[in-house]
Amino acid sequence: MEGNATSDLRPSVRGDAYTLKLHVSKRSQQTMIRSSLVSLCACFLLAACGDNPSDKPGDNPSDSPVPRGATVPWDEYEAEAGVSSGGATLEQTTRGPWLEGTLSGEASGRKAVTLHGPTDAVAWTSRVKANSVLVRYSVPDQKEAHLDVYVNDVKVATLTVNSDFAWLYTGPNNTETHNAFPRQQVDELPQNPSTSDVNFGLRLPWNSAHHIYDEAHALLATDGRETIHPGDVVKIISPDASAELPVTIDFMDLELVPEPLSAPAGYVVVSEFTQAGVVRALQEAVDGGKPGIFLPPGDYVMSHVSPALPKVYVPAGLTVQGAGMWYTRFVPPPPQEVGYNYEFGFRLSGDNITFQDFAIFGTWRNRAARYNKDAADLGNWPWDSYDGIGRAFDRYMHNNAVFKRLWIERMIVGGWVEGGNNLLWQDCRFRNTLADGINLCNGTSNSRIVNCTARNTGDDAFAMWSAITWDKAPIGDTPWVHQPEGPNQGNIIERCTAGLIWRAAGFAVYGGHDNVIKDSVVYDTLRYPGITVDNEFAPQHEFSGLTTLQNMTVERCGGRMWWDDDDGAQGDETTRRKWGAVWLFAANPYSPAEPSSPIRFQGIRLKDIDIIDPVYYGVLVQTTQGQRIEDTEFDGVHIVMNQSGEFGMVANDSHKAPPSPFSGKIATTGSITLKNSSITGHRANSGNLFSKDPVSTETFLFKDGGGNIWTGDR
């Protein structure tokens, strides 16, 4: 949300990605209600925006169903739902699998429209009042074009669209997606393959593409007035489009942005659009006993005051207040001055710190590693590790920190939360990050992520990871980098939406206890489940108590694994193993931190989960050697296989069993109790409701807890 204009909230219209499902009975009778009209579900969505997350429909059995997904101030228009003209063509794959590196595979709803010439266009009739336009697009790699935006045949904006922050590549076996590079860095890779087709552990050539869409936006009025009205026709053309430069449109967002916020009373107003100016204002606020600093509209260029301290440390008790996420932006210096992948962001130095109403736009183009040709020429190890930076907010976050109405884009991570208690992330946008949108990590407790959205992330959009940090002592004289001990506990992610994830899951939980994800939506993942419950990343704390996922929609999720030891030197797509739209993985039987203590995988609860058109499997269950799934229940899990889906629920060998590499098959072990659940759709039949591989047949059980459309254990 922008500013405090809650009265202008509208549901995002995403066609078949935002699905509201009413359970008519405990069995297969169900109604799928698509939110194609704002008025249809606005009353539900607005009711979910109160400050108290538990004060909403659904707490009383007589209330209407609790809506799912974030309530957002923009209205979304899929390109395929618009009116195309000229020679514009539809990009679509009508059924799974949908593949990364393809215009339909990486598009919202797996459809988009391509403009091939300057007379091609796509147009929509506006349903809302608006004064801003955002377009998700794709152009060929290393190309640039423009998009002209017309309202009722009058040009109102021109967007520059290019491939600067899209088109990453990996090798033929796709194992290095984590370290995907832009074309310029791929060109620096060693080009003389060894006899085993491997150089420095990486297979060549690197020509597998990922992350081919980006976004551009324009604000048409800065005073809050509407420049687009209901009934107006909004049209997009590209004067540069040609056979050699096709321009693809995925969707358009229209939003009514309120006027900029004014400085609160008593705040220090930042007077210089630099990192040094921000640091001085923070110190002035501390010295003068002020409540915080205010950043007027503008781009604040975060040129480092000291290269040794690229982050801005905010003192305890202060508020960093912007004029609104469309007006106040933190940005790095221009790439032509400092290059891409410039490190900047914020850290907290104490309790009770608030950040709100601004944006952070980075220039990150790859995530975790860079091939250093100079080092390779000297015969040295050629990879520079970059993981752990590029985070807008990171490290220990203390107590009672608040993050509201933030727009974070083109960073590696939006928020990497290493501990802290009673934190609140609310109404935030995480877009086009190269890794996580936000990850609650290292002992975060009693914290909430509420009404946030994430799209086109390169790792989990929303995650909770109970990691154990090896070095738990403060580092030198910097107590703010203390790594807290203990599992994640008592955290809630609610009313959030994750979509278009090109690597990893929409929602993920890795260990901990009494954590909840609810009332949320995930759609269109490419190479991973929509929901992951997993303890493979050691060292981490075990699952204890309960871990609850409730009232969620998972649509068009899953796909082929990006890695597989069986896929051969050329990365044969057809041999790769398959994900489920929901994945439970009991991985590490023991913790490297405490090798004598087993790590349990238990207490998992999935309730009222709608899994729609899984790419392959609705649910995939796996364990490794020495592990088992215990005390786990599904209640009201409904899998619908119409466009895609091969099996409802699957238990099989994970092929990730320790020690690695491991030869042979490992049985999935344990059980899940299923109640009030169903597997339906045109592609469902009596033979594909459940599947277990031979080694798991006698070791894993889908228990019939009653109320299912089938009877008996499977």
Phi, psi (degrees; rounded to nearest 5) at 289: 65, 30
Quick check: 344 pLDDT over 80? yes
Quick check: 105 pLDDT over 70? yes
What pLDDT score does 591 carry?
A: 63
* Residue 38: pLDDT band with limits 50, 70, 90: very low
What pLDDT score does 77 carry?
A: 98
Mean pLDDT within 645-669: 78
What pLDDT score does 452 carry?
A: 98
Contacts of 36 (CB under 8 A, 6+ apart): 13, 15
Tens digit of pLDDT for each residue in 606-645? 999 999 999 999 999 999 888 999 999 999 999 999 999 9
Short-list 673, 660, 678, CA closest to 624:
660
What pLDDT score does 198 carry?
A: 63
Mean pLDDT within 269-280: 97
Quick check: 56 pLDDT over 70? no
Quick check: 339 pLDDT over 60? yes
Question: Cα(714)–Cα(710) distance, rounded to whole angstroms?
Answer: 9
What pLDDT score does 709 carry?
A: 97
What pLDDT score does 63 carry?
A: 65
Tens digit of pLDDT for each residue in 262-273? 999 999 999 999
What pLDDT score does 442 carry?
A: 87
What pLDDT score does 665 carry?
A: 83
* Neighbour-count burial of 224, counting CB atoms closer than 10 A to its CB (0-12 exposed, 13-18 middle, 19+ buried): middle
Contacts of 96 (CB under 8 A, 6+ apart): 556, 558, 559, 613, 615, 616, 643, 644, 645
Q: Cβ(477)–Cβ(454) under 8 Å? A: no
Short-list 227, 25, 268, CA closest to 133:
227
Mean pLDDT within 293-312: 94
Residue 610's alpha-carbon distances to 30, 31, 371, 640, 709, in angstroms, are 11, 11, 43, 8, 15
* Neighbour-count burial of 39, counting CB atoms closer than 10 A to its CB (0-12 exposed, 13-18 middle, 19+ buried): exposed
Quick check: 598 pLDDT over 90? no
DSSP letters along 117-157, please?
Answer: STT-EEEEE--S-BSEEEEEEE--TT-EEEEEEEETTEEEE
Contacts of 288 (CB under 8 A, 6+ apart): 268
Quick check: 57 pLDDT over 50? no
Sheet holding 121-125, edge to edge: 83-85, 121-125, 233-237, 144-151, 154-162
Question: Cα(195)–Cα(218) distance, rounded to whole angstroms?
Answer: 51
Question: Cα(364)–Cα(596) distance, rounded to whole angstroms?
Answer: 41
Q: What are the tokens at 697?
A: 């047949």
Tens digit of pLDDT for each residue in 86-99? 999 999 987 767 88
Q: What is the residue-averaged pLDDT of the chain?
A: 86
Give the per-residue SS3 of 272-296. Answer: CCEHHHHHHHHHHHHHCCCCEEEEC
Q: What are the tokens at 565?
A: 């030891």
Least confident of 336-340, 483-487, 488-492, 583-587: 483-487
- Name the amino acid, one letter, at 622: Q
Least confident of 391-405, 456-470, 521-535: 456-470
pTM: 0.89
What pLDDT score does 52 carry?
A: 42
Mean pLDDT within 486-494: 94
Tens digit of pLDDT for each residue in 498-525? 999 998 999 999 999 999 999 999 999 9
What pLDDT score does 538 carry?
A: 74
* Residue 185: pLDDT band with limits 50, 70, 90: confident
Of residues 197 and 303, the one with the higher pLDDT is 303
Task: Give percent helix, percent strand, percent coil of the chain, each to the nearest 5.
Answer: 10, 40, 50
Residues paired with residue 152 on neighbouring β-strands, in sequence order: none
* Residue 369: pLDDT band with limits 50, 70, 90: confident
Q: What are the tokens at 4?
A: 């405090």
What pLDDT score does 570 carry?
A: 47
Least confident of 203-207, 335-339, 697-701: 203-207
Give the per-residue SS3 of 533-549. Answer: EECCCCCECCEEEEEEE
Quick check: 484 pLDDT over 70? no
Quick check: 232 pLDDT over 60? yes
Mean pLDDT within 439-461: 96
3-state secondary structure of 560: strand
What pLDDT score does 551 carry?
A: 98
Short-list 558, 652, 567, 679, CA closest to 97:
558
Contacts of 262 (CB under 8 A, 6+ apart): 323
What pLDDT score does 658 carry?
A: 52
Of residues 442 and 263, the one with the higher pLDDT is 263
What pLDDT score does 309 carry?
A: 87
Question: Cα(658)–Cα(663) distance, rounded to whole angstroms?
Answer: 10
